[in-house]
């Protein structure tokens, strides 16, 4: 078993151990930490290889399951997948650590921790798979526990309805995506599911074999399929309520990690293999992503609950990643990938802090959180401030560096005048102002000012030492990458430059 296979299958082995009777929390947390150490080892070894080796696929392994068409359980890492795997293991450790003690879980403790591990395993498998079939299959593995956790352990009286809603939305999105992937597979020969073979077909001596009309239809199908999974406007309505009512670990893992699957798929498959389709539908994508940034941003301002505000905020920030992808150049794509990491860490941090606040106060309605909580919980207030600043894009956090790259990508190939991409980038800049409005207002309303009801909040306590560990892990990750973005960009840039050449 290679190290990459170990990283993918360790959470699944931990699931079996928990089902066999092992202590759920201890087993899940141990597996998450060991996996994080394994990813550190992969990253160290990856950095010692040349750019050519890295972009070709590092630590590649393949176990052929079917000869014709070629189907293999295959894993490999390049800079893009490695960054997303780093994101996954960081958020997994934080999410499992932030989970409640077994005695506080109302329901099956095994199901609670097994579901978190399955979401993590599905994301790891999807990001490291180099076979189209398993790329899709691992993502579907992660969706099932998401539905169960919201319906069984979620917050609010409508959690079952929300679970069914997300099941229908994401189920439809997955079916549309499957149709697009099947069409892509057969239009590239239908002989192999391996990414390398698909790339080879698309860049053969005679050029891309997919006609322009077929590229347009397949790309649109993939955009809709991936877009529903990512919450691209107007396919976004499932996400805010699902995140608001999900248990804290699920909100952290789905919003922080699993949602990046669709963005990864666009960068890995749709953009390089269907460059004509990407160019044809660029204007449509720009219009939709501005819906995420501007329309959803304004909707976020109107929210009266902290958890739904964070849910809409997550949807809004997907627009910036789409903007980087729509730029069609390596700078914008590197910015999009870095923003996937930054957003994943920052939204997981915000949901973790919101969960801690809910546990203490019992509600996340702004009308009930009338300020002054920083007086009772200064550490919680300070760390929430860091998370809010990161989400806004304040310098010093990873979000700032990635958004700057996205905006640079929008103007990289401007030509003689301002085109649709540049106008979209200019309009998207107003999203930074919108983010500052809703996030700073929420911070002021919850944490600043006089304590509104001292008697009711007399028992309100600050973060414990155990609760601070996962929070600090996420804050440190944001600040380290924020001050030294090249730690990840040195992995991302060579891959993005290679993928951007496919459409040239």
Instruction: Write the DSSP assignment of 202-221 as a string of letters.
Output: HTSTT---S-HHHHHHHHHH
Band (pLDDT 50/70/90 cuts) for residue 54 is very low
Q: Which pLDDT score, from 0 to 100, does residue 49 have?
A: 55
| CA 332 to centroid of chain Cα atoms | 17
Please list the residues that pair with 131 across neighbouring strands: 194
Once rounded to an integer, what is the mean pLDDT over residues 111-134?
92
Band (pLDDT 50/70/90 cuts) for residue 504 is low
Which of 182, 76, 84, 89 minimizes the C-alpha distance to 129?
76
The rounded distance, in Å, linking the Cα atoms of 261 and 138 is: 10
Q: Which pLDDT score, from 0 to 100, does residue 35 have?
A: 93
The rounded distance, in Å, linking the Cα atoms of 445 and 463 is: 19
| Pairing label, strands 71-77, 58-66 | antiparallel
Q: Helix, strand, or coil here: 61?
A: strand
What's the mean pLDDT when you consider all of the chain?
86
Once rounded to an integer, what is the mean pLDDT over residues 255-279?
90
CB atoms within 10 A of CB 40: 12
The rounded distance, in Å, linking the Cα atoms of 105 and 258 is: 23
Q: Does the pLDDT value for residue 48 go beyond 60?
A: no
pLDDT digits (tens, 9 = 90+) for 128-139: 998 899 999 999
Once rounded to an integer, what is the mean pLDDT over residues 227-256?
87
Q: Under 8 Å CB-to-CB from 106, ≥6 apart: which residues? A: 153
Q: Which pLDDT score, from 0 to 100, does residue 153 have?
A: 82
Q: Which pLDDT score, from 0 to 100, does residue 217 have?
A: 93
Alpha helices in 254-304 (DSSP H): 260-265, 271-273, 275-280, 282-290, 296-301
The rounded distance, in Å, linking the Cα atoms of 226 and 223 is: 5
Band (pLDDT 50/70/90 cuts) for residue 55 is very low
CB atoms within 10 A of CB 101: 9
Once rounded to an integer, what is the mean pLDDT over residues 29-54?
77
Q: Does the pLDDT value for residue 53 go beyond 50?
A: no
Whole-prediction pTM value? Answer: 0.92
pLDDT digits (tens, 9 = 90+) for 446-478: 888 776 654 445 557 778 888 899 999 999 999
Q: Does the pLDDT value for residue 146 go beyond 60?
A: yes
């Amino acid at each position: 078993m290679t190290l990459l296979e170990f990283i993918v299958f360790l959470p699944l082995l931990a699931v079996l151990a928990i089902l066999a009777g092992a202590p759920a929390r201890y087993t899940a947390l141990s597996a998450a930490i060991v996996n994080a150490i394994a990813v550190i080892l992969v990253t160290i070894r990856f950095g010692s290889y040349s750019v050519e080796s890295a972009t070709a696929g590092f630590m590649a392994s393949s176990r052929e399951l079917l000869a014709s068409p070629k189907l293999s359980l295959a894993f490999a890492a390049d800079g893009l997948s490695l960054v997303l795997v780093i994101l996954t293991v960081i958020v997994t450790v934080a999410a499992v650590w932030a989970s409640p003690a077994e005695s506080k879980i109302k329901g099956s403790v095994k199901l609670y921790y097994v579901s978190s591990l399955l979401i993590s395993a599905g994301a790891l498998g999807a990001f490291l798979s180099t076979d189209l079939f398993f790329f899709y299959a691992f993502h579907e593995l992660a969706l099932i526990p998401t539905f169960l956790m919201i319906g069984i352990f979620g917050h609010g009286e409508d959690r079952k309805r929300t679970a069914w809603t997300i099941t229908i939305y994401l189920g439809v999105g997955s079916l549309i995506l499957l149709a697009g992937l099947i069409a892509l597979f057969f239009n590239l020969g239908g002989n192999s599911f391996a990414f390398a073979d698909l790339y080879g077909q698309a860049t053969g001596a005679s050029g891309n074999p997919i006609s322009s009309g077929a590229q347009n239809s397949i790309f649109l199908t993939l955009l809709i399929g991936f877009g529903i999974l990512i919450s691209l406007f107007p396919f976004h309505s499932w996400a805010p309520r699902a995140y608001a009512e999900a248990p804290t670990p699920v909100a952290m893992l789905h919003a922080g990690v699993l949602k990046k699957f669709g963005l990864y798929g666009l960068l890995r498959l749709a953009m390089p293999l269907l460059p004509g389709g990407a160019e044809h539908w660029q204007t449509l994508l720009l219009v939709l992503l501005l819906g995420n940034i501007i329309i959803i941003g304004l909707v976020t301002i109107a929210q009266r609950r902290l958890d739904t505000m964070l849910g809409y905020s997550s949807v809004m920030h997907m627009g910036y990643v789409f903007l980087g992808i729509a730029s069609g150049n390596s700078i914008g794509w590197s910015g999009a990938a870095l923003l996937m990491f930054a957003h994943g860490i920052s939204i997981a941090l915000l949901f973790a802090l919101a969960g801690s606040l809910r546990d203490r106060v019992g509600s996340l309605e702004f009308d009930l959180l009338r300020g002054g909580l920083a007086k009772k919980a200064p550490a919680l207030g300070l760390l929430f401030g860091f998370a809010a600043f990161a989400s806004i894009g304040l310098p010093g956090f990873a979000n700032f560096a990635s958004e700057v790259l996205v905006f640079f990508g929008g103007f990289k190939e401007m030509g003689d005048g301002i085109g649709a991409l540049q106008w979209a980038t200019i309009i998207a800049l107003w999203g930074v102002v919108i983010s500052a409005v809703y996030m700073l207002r929420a911070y002021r309303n919850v944490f600043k000012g006089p304590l509104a009801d001292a008697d009711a909040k007399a028992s309100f306590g600050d973060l414990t030492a155990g609760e601070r560990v996962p929070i600090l892990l996420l804050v440190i990750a944001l600040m380290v990458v924020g001050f030294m973005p090249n730690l990840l960009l040195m992995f991302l840039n060579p891959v993005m430059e290679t993928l951007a050449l496919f459409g040239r």
